[in-house]
Amino acid sequence: MEGPRVAGILGIETSCDETAAAVVTHRGEILSNVVSSQADLHRQFGGVVPELASRRHLELISPVIREALDEAATPLGDLDAIAVTTGPGLIGALLVGLSAAKGLAWGRGLPLVPVNHLHGHVASLFLEPHDLEPPFTCLLASGGHTLLLDVRGRRWEEMEVLGTTLDDAAGEAFDKGARLLGLPYPGGAEVDRLAKEGDPAAYAFPVARVPGLDFSFSGLKTALLYAVRGLSPAELDERRADLAASYQRAIVRALVERIEAAGGERLAIVGGVAANSELRASLPEAHAAPLRLCTDNAAMIASAGRYSAHVPAGEYLALDAFASAP
Ligand code: KG4
Ligand code: ZN
C-alpha cells in the first residue's frame, strides 16, 4: 500500500566545483543528496578553473538532477518548489544551475526559490534527524567565506554577521597552505589527514589578533611560506607532517578563539572547514553538521529554500545570479 504523498523541494547547487541536486521534504528529511565533485578535473591546475567548472556543470547537471529525483523516488510532478543557489559563487557556474532550475520550474509551473549559498550552509543544521532550533552562534567557514553569525531565526534575514575575514577565508588558508606544502587540491582534507602524523607544537605559527570578532589568515600563510622556503626538498619531506599539524593548529585556534569570544548559549559550525577533525574535537560542545553536509551539497540549499520566499511561476525568468554578496 502506498503511503501519503510526501511533498518535496528539489535543491540545485552549482556555485563552485560541485554539481549537486537533492530532494528534501518540508519537514527537513533528506530523500536524496547527490554530489558530483569536479575535484579531479581541477587538481592538475591546483585550484578551480572557472570556465572548466561551468562546462563540466553543463555536462553533469541533467544526470545529477535525474539521479536525485530517482533516488528520492519523487517524480517531478510531486515537487512543490525548486530551490537554487543564485550566489555568491562563480557566475558562469551559478548560471548553469539557475538556468536548469528555471527551465524545470517553468516547464512544470512550479515556484522557484532563490537561495543564498551562505544561508544554505547554515540551513545544513536544519535537516533531520539533527534539526537545531535557533538561536545559536554559528561559525561558517568554507573555501570562500569565514563568517561569525548570530542566528536568531531560520531565515537569512534573521542572521546577523558578527565578524568576517579581513583577507583569506579559512578554507582558502587551508588550500593555500596545502599548496605550499606540495599537497594536492583541495588541500583542507589533505592537511587534516597529514596533521594527524605531525607535532602541532613543532612550529609556533602566529594567530592574528585583529580587533573585534574579525579574522585574518594572510600573516599565517606568509609565516608558512617562510618556513617552507628555508627547507631543502628532503627536509620538507621530513617536516611536512609537523608543518601541516602546526599550521592547522594555528587556523583552528583562531577559529575557536573567535567563536568562543562571540559567546552565546549554543555554538554551531558549518561549511567545508567544519569537516576538520581538529576543529570538531576542539569544540566538543558545538553542534556540527554531518561531514557530507559540511562541504557543498544541495540538501542544504533545499533546506534553506524551506525558509525563503518562493517566486511564483513565470515571475523568475529575469532572475540573475550574483558573484559576491550585494
Ligand atoms: O563549503 P565548501 O565545500 O565550499 C565553499 O563554499 O567554499 O568548502 C570547501 C573548503 C575548501 O577550502 C576545503 O579545503 C575545505 O573546505 N575543507 C577542509 C576540510 N574538508 C574541506 N578544511 C579543513 N579540514 C577538512 N577536513
Ligand atoms: Zn560552500
The domain spanning residue 247 has which CATH number? 3.30.420.40
Ligand 2 centre distance from Cα of residue 247 (Å): 22
Asked if residue 181 is part of any domain, the answer here is yes
What SS3 state is found at 310?
coil
CA 157 to chain centroid = 19
Top mutation candidate among 38, 43, 118, 273 for ligand 1, by most atoms within 8 Å of CB = 273
Same domain, 157 and 176: yes
Q: What is the pLDDT of residue 5?
A: 56
CB contact at 8 A, 299 and 170: no
How many domains, in total, are found in the chain? 2
Shared domain check, 69 and 33: yes
- The reply to whether ligand 1 has any atom less than 6 angstroms from the CB of 175 is yes
Cβ of 188 below 6 Å from ligand 1: yes
In a mutational test of the pocket of ligand 1, which residue from 48, 295, 296, 300 has the highest number of ligand atoms less than 8 Å from its CB? 295
Sole residue written with cell 534539526: 131
For 220-250, the pLDDT digits (tens) are 999 999 999 999 999 999 999 999 999 999 9
Find the 144 Cα to ligand 1 centroid distance in Å. Answer: 9
Q: Are residues 158 and 283 in the same domain?
A: yes
Rounded to the nearest angstrom, the distance between the alpha carbon of 292 and the centre of ligand 2 is 12
Rounded CA Rg of the chain: 20
Ligand at shortest distance from the CA of 143:
1
What is the distance in A from the centroid of ligand 1 to the CA of 287?
17
Q: What are phi and psi of 31, to 5 degrees?
A: -90, -30
Hunting for cell 588550500 — which residue is that? 175
Cis peptide before 200 (omega within 30 of 0): no
Could you tell me if the CB of 32 is within 6 A of ligand 1?
no
Which residues fall within 8 angstroms of residue 187, CB to CB, at 6 or more apart? 174, 175, 176, 177, 178, 179, 181
Q: How far apart are CA 139 and CA 123, in angstroms?
A: 13
* Domain assignment of residue 323, yes or no: no
Q: What is the rounded distance in angstroms from the CA atom of residue 189 to the CA atom of residue 183?
A: 10
Beta-sheet pairing, 112-116 with 79-87: parallel
The three cell numbers of residue 214 are 574579525
H/E run at residue 136: strand 136-141
- Residue 39's pLDDT is 87
Q: Is residue 170 part of a domain?
A: yes
In a domain, 315, yes or no: no
Flag whether 319 is in a domain.
no
* Closest CA to ligand 1's atom 23: 188
Q: Which residues touch 174 (CB under 8 Å, ≥6 apart)?
A: 187, 188, 191, 248, 251, 273, 276
What was the pLDDT predicted at 87?
97
**Is 186 touching ligand 1 by the criterion CB < 6 Å?**
yes
254 with 115, same domain: the answer is: no
Quick check: is 316 in a domain?
Answer: no
Same structural domain for residues 285 and 179?
Answer: yes
Domain assignment of residue 130, yes or no: no
Residue ranges in 230-284 assigned as alpha helix (H): 233-262, 277-282
Ligand 1 in reach of 289 Cβ (< 6 A): no
Ligand number nearest to the C-alpha of 183: 1
Please report the atom of ligand 1 found closest to the CA of residue 175.
14
8 Å CB contact between 165 and 174: no
Residues 81 and 18 in one domain: yes
189 and 107 within one domain = no
Residue 326's pLDDT is what? 52
In a domain, 28, yes or no: yes
Full domain range(s) for residue 153: 135-289
Q: Tell me, yes or no, whether 153 and 92 share the same domain.
A: no
Distance 313 CA to ligand 2 centre (A): 27
Q: Is 284 exposed, middle or buried (0-12, 13-18, 19+ CB in 10 A)?
A: exposed
**Dihedral Cα 145, 148, 153, 155, nearest 10 deg:** -20
Same domain, 117 and 145: no
Which 8-state DSSP code applies to residue 133?
P
Q: From first to last of its 326 residues, what are the pLDDT tens digits of the chain?
A: 445 556 799 999 999 989 999 999 999 999 999 999 888 888 888 888 898 999 999 999 999 999 999 999 999 989 999 999 999 999 999 999 999 999 999 999 999 999 999 999 999 999 999 999 999 999 999 999 999 999 999 999 999 999 999 999 999 999 999 999 999 988 999 999 999 999 999 999 998 889 899 999 999 999 999 999 999 999 999 999 999 999 999 999 999 999 999 988 999 999 999 999 999 999 999 999 999 999 999 999 999 999 999 999 889 999 999 999 65
